[in-house]
Structures are given as C-alpha cells and as structure tokens.
Structure 1
Amino acid sequence: MLDIDLNPILFTFGTFEIRWYGVMVTMAVIVLIGISLLEAKRRNIPQDTIWDIGLWGVVGGIVGARLLHIIDKWEYYINHPEQLLNFAGLAVWGAVLGGAVAMLIYCLVKKMSFWKLGDTVAPGAIMAQAIGRVGCLVNGCCYGAVCELPISVIYLNPNSYAPHGVPVYPTQIFHIVWNVIGFVFLWLIRKKIKPEGALFLVWLIYFSLGDFAIRFFRGDATPFMFNLPEAQVIDIAVVVVAAVMLVVLVIRDKKAVRPVEVVEASKSE
C-alpha cells in the first residue's frame, strides 16, 4: 500500500489557494501546445494556428468541464448555488467535448480542416490528460473504491478529497498509465494512419475504452443512466459515434483513391 500525505494545497495568499491540481492542469496545457506545435510543423500548419486554437480550446475546455461537472452534481449545486462559479470541480469529458466544440467553431471561422487540426492535437491531448491526472492523484479527487490489495493507496492529508485513512484503488494511476501508453501508441502511428481524421478518432475511441473500464474501480461515481455514471454513458456514446465516423472516413478515402488508380492505369495502357 502507498501512503499519500502530500498537501493538495501548494501555498496560500490569505484566502486564495494555489493547488497542485491547478499547477498540473497548467503544465498539461503547456505540454499539449508544445507537442501540437511539433506536429503542426510536420503537417505544414502555421504555428500561430496552434496558439490560437490553444486559447480557444482552453476557454472551451474549462467552460465545458465546469458545465458537465455541474450537470453531474446538480443535486448539490441546486442546494448550493453560490458554488456554481467555483471552479473547484471539473469533468474530464466536459473538457474534451468543450475543447472539441471550440476547435470546430475555430475551423469553421477560419475555413480550415477540422480533421487535420484534430489529428495534429490528438497526441498532445492524451499526454495532457495523463499529466492532468497527476493533479487528480495529489488532489485526491477521482479516487477509487475501497481496496485491500497491495496496489491500494491511502490518503492521509486532511485537505485531500479522498476518504482519509481508507485504502482505495489507485484509479488516478490507472488513468495516467493508460494515457501514457495511448500517447506512445498515437505517436508511433501518427505518420502512417490514414485517412485525415483517423488519428483524432482513434484517440477518442482509445481514451473512451480505458475511461469506461477504469471507472468501474472508482469510488466517487454517481449513477446517471442504466446504473452507470454520466462519464461511462458518454464513453459508450463516443466509442459508437467515433467508430462509425472512422468507418465512413475509411470508406470515403478508398472510394476517392480508386478512381485515381483507374485513371493512372488507363494512362499506362
């Protein structure tokens, strides 16, 4: 068992707190933009585009993460409306969907390919998710169910969001490992996978499958539909929609390539 006694609060200024969670989220955004800049250079996308979409994505991600968290915990917030503008709670799927919507709007305004930009940010996005989960680990949020196995963790700091002194599954570590493996996978296939948009959709499918499985070990889940928490319902929906879209993109790509091959063959004759 691993004891975690690290204070989630890094330091305070009067009533203002700086938490490790916020520091790790900031680092996650920096890494996301950094990796995306590398990919943008390879894909001949202007660097300014990544900085712009970084700003749009951060705003959309934060708003989406907060809104989905409020929806998920509506019974609490309806009784504590003064907490609505407190950004202490964020939902990971809200961040993903909010960022994606912001990116879609940006692409429509700038008349750019959403799929190309999605492929560009996908590797950085999943690494950012891994780094963000480090913040969850320190914060004690997204904690696991009670676990008596040697892999369990015990939170001792009174500022932690996890139950104190109780061994729980290290679900944050599960998320970190899954996302790091996902980053390596996406990074290795990014130059080979086709058509445009496939890498982005593979990221969504991969992330959703892992998130769905890991949440069975979570101790903070609230049933939403079919006795599943909100995030798992979204996981299922995203896998289905992304898989269908991936098949459609592949079929369209093959149909587009075939006429070209026929023309080239006729020329050679």
Structure 2
Amino acid sequence: MGNLLSLALNPIAFNLGPIEVHWYGIIIASGVILAVYLAVREGDKRGIKADDIYDMILWALPAALICARLYYVIFQWSYYKDNLGEIVKIWDGGIAIYGSLIGAMIVVILFCRHRFIPVWLMLDVAAPTVILAQSIGRWGNFMNQEAFGQTTTLSFLQGLHLPQPIISQMYISGAYRQPTFLYESLWSLLGFLVLITLRHNPHFFKRGEVFLTYVMWYSFGRFFVEGMRTDSLMLAGVRVSQILSVILFVSAIILIIYRRRDTTNPWYLDGNDLKVD
C-alpha cells in the first residue's frame, strides 16, 4: 500500500520563485484556450467575427471564475465564514461548473445584445467547445484529488482497466474512491463528439438547439455522477447540482418544443442574419 501511496501525483507543476503553479490552473487554462480556438473557427463559418468572440471572452472568463467561486463559497459558507482568507484560493479547487455557466451566460447575453449578435447563435457556437473544456477541466480535479466518489475496491478500479497512475491517485483518505471525475470527463467528451457531429447536418438543429442539447446532455449525465460523489454541495439535505440538473434538463426540453413552434426561427447553419460589416 505504501508504494501505491507514493505514486500520488504532485498537484504543483513547477515553481516560479515563490509562486507555485498548480496543474489545476494549467489544465483549466488549456481547456479554455482550446475552447476559444474552436469557437473562433466555428464562429467564422457562422458569420461571427473572431474579434467579437475574443472581446466576449475577456468579459465572460472573469465573470465565470468569480461566479463559480461564489457559487461554491455560498454553499460552503459554514466553513468560509471562519476562513475568509481562503475564499480567493481557487488554485486549491472549489469552483462550481454551474456557477461558472451562470456567470458566463449573463455576460454572453449582455455582450451579444450590445454587439447586435444573435444570442442563441453565439450560445450554439460556444456550447460544444464549453463541454469540451469541461471534459478537460475535470482532470484538474484529478490532480487535486477532488470531485471523487464513494469508497470502492482496488479490484473494481483494476476491472475498469484504468492506468495505474489513475488508480493510485484514487487512493484518498485511506481508501480507494470512485473516479467520478473520469465518468463526467468521458461523458462530456462524448457530448462534444455528438454535438460537433450533428450540428453541421442540414435542417437538424434550429438556432438555439445546439446549446439546449448541450444543456440536456450535460445535466443528464451530471445528475447521475453527482449522486456518486461525496463532496456535493447540499441544500436542505439535497444535492444542489442534482436539483439544478433536473431543472435545466426539463427547461431545455420545454424551450426546444416551444421554439420549434416558431416557424421564423432560422436553422443553425443559416448563421448570423444580423451581421454588420
């Protein structure tokens, strides 16, 4: 057992003088950079200027990080009220994806209205890249040994044919844990592949439906993964993310049905009909 414990990965990638650079931040930043690159490529095809996407990210990214942290801190206030200095330590983990999505959504809506860009189209362009970034970002949780599940056995993990470094990293607090970070990462990666495969099929997605399909896909998988985790944010004894997942899943279905009734709603592939040169 001692050999396995010694294989736990160091969450610190390197030091820049007194500054510790965490793998958590590197991995999340990598996911964001890839997401922006892919969004710019797709946006160009749909009539959205690259500069508009870059400008939007400059506002959306800070808002997403702040809201992700606030979301987490609010539901962990019993701890942070006595440790106010730790609120800013996002490099140690403790950011909530749903919080980041709420913050980013607000910025996207305001930004698109200001720049005369169809909001739903921008969300459609971004959605597949966001779920890919989420898939990558979960490996930051892996490096921090967080977002794990209930106790399990070594034989179970070996039965999943996981690489030894993953198995070793799942030995946490004296027991092997379900790699829920991996389940969600793979589910999100599959969602990315489904969305980019389907969105270029003619007359498949109306505007807004790529994004709403993303919401359905992610919330469906998150509901079940969340039920396996041991670090869930709770509200009145119920897992907050499960409540929100149900609300988002049902709301997305209703919105798709409602918007399909509007025959003037363009197809996703029609691009930006409000393009201003």
TM-score band w.r.t. shorter chain: 0.7 to 0.9
Residues 166-199 of structure 1, C-alpha deviations (whole Å, 9 max, x = no match): 1000101101110110000000111233210000
Larger radius of gyration: 1
Query: Counterpart of 2:107?
Result: 102
Residue number among 116, 119, 124 corresponding to 2:129 in the alignment: 124
Q: Structure 1 residue 111: deviation in Å?
A: 2.4
Please, which moves more after superposition, 3-12 or 58-67? 3-12
The aligned residue for residue 151 of structure 1 is 157
Question: Are 1:205 and 2:210 counterparts?
Answer: no
Structure 1 residues without counterparts, runs of 5 or longer: 258-269
SS of aligned partner of 2:107:
helix
Provide closer, same or farther for how the CA distance between residues 155 and 16 of structure 1 changes in structure 2, counting only shifts above 3 A.
farther
By how many angstroms is 1:85 displaced? 2.5
**Deviation for aligned residue 1:222:** 4.1
| Residue aligning to 1:33 | 36
The 2-side partners of 1:44 and 1:74 are apart by 44
* Aligned counterparts of 1:211 and 1:239: Cα–Cα separation in 2: 10
Percent of matched pairs sharing the same residue: 26
The match for 1:239 is 249
Gaps of 5+ in 2: 159-165, 267-277
Q: Secondary structure at the match of 2:78?
A: helix
Which one-letter code corresponds to 1:58 in the other structure? L
For 1:108, give the aligned amino acid: R
Deviation digits for residues 140-188 of structure 1, max 9, x if unmatched? Answer: 11111111252276556xxx9x833410001011011101100000001
Cα offset, 1:221, TM superposition: 2.1
TM-score by length of 2: 0.84
Instruction: Note if contact 1:155-1:164 (Cα within 8 Å) is conserved in structure 2.
Output: no
| Pairing of 1:1-269 with structure 2 (within 5 A) | 5-13=8-16, 15-87=18-90, 88=92, 89-148=94-153, 150-151=156-157, 163-192=172-201, 193-225=204-236, 227-253=237-263
Equivalent pair of 2:72/2:233 in contact (CA under 8 Å): no
In 2, the alpha carbon distance for the partners of 1:13 and 1:188 equals: 41
CA contact (8 A) 2:61 2:104 kept: yes
Give the alignment's TM-score, normalised by structure 1: 0.86
C-alpha distance in structure 2 between counterparts of 1:256 and 1:196, whole Å: 7
| Paired AA for residue 176 in structure 2 | P
Q: Secondary structure at the residue paired with 1:167?
A: strand
* RMSD value, Cα: 2.2
Structure-1 separation of matches of 2:48 and 2:244: 31
Provide the C-alpha distance between the structure 2 equivalents of 1:243 and 1:125, rounded to a whole number of angstroms: 20
Give 1:65 deviation, angstroms: 0.4
